[in-house]
Amino acid sequence: MILDSLEIDRAAFEAGTGWQLKPEGACKGDVCIPLRPAPGARVNVSDVARQMGLPLVEDKPHGLWALGPESIGGRALTTAEAPELVLPDLDGNAFRLSSLRGQKVLVYAWAPY
């Protein structure tokens, strides 16, 4: 996720990373990474990133950071539970992949190049 500050709201962290902040730590599917101290309403991104092993890459000239994904399991997927995917359609309307629960879904990646 792209950041212009390293202090962000808990909800923004959860939506941006797919990790839920619970009393037992940061959790995705049935995997939890303990965090000390447990984050409150605001998340100190560099501290949490270090504890979770998430890469934090800075672009100084633009005042931006990108927080990358986890690699604790050594695989792109930490769990087989499909992550929430929210992307716009051509008209900019957000679509949630979870709205298709109850159907089989094939997500097809293509590109115009």
Partner 1 sequence: MWQALRNEYHPLGFELVTVGLDALGAEGCRAFIEAARPAHPSLIDQHHVLAELFGVINIPQSIWIDERGMIVRPAETAPAPPGPPRERAIQPDMPLPPRFMEIMGEAMKIPNDSASYHEALRDWVHNGAASRYAMSPEQVIARSRPRDEPIARGHAHFELATELERRGDHAAAIQHFRQAHRLVPDSWTFRRQAWSLERGMEGALARFWQGPPSDDPESWPYEGDWLTDIRKTGAENYNERFNP
In this structure, the number of other CB atoms found within 10 A of the CB of residue 110 comes to 4
Question: Residues interacting with partner 1, by CB under 8 A?
Answer: 1-2, 18, 53-57, 59, 61-62, 64, 66-71, 73-83, 85, 87-90, 92, 95, 97-98, 100-113
Is the CB of 38 or the CB of 73 nearer to partner 1?
Answer: 73
**What are 92's two structure tokens?**
């900019």
Is the CB of 37 or the CB of 74 nearer to partner 1?
Answer: 74
User: Which helix (H) or strand (E) is 8 found in, with range?
Assistant: strand 7-9
Is the CB of 7 or the CB of 81 nearer to partner 1?
Answer: 81
Q: How many angstroms separate the CA atoms of 21 and 37, rounded? A: 12
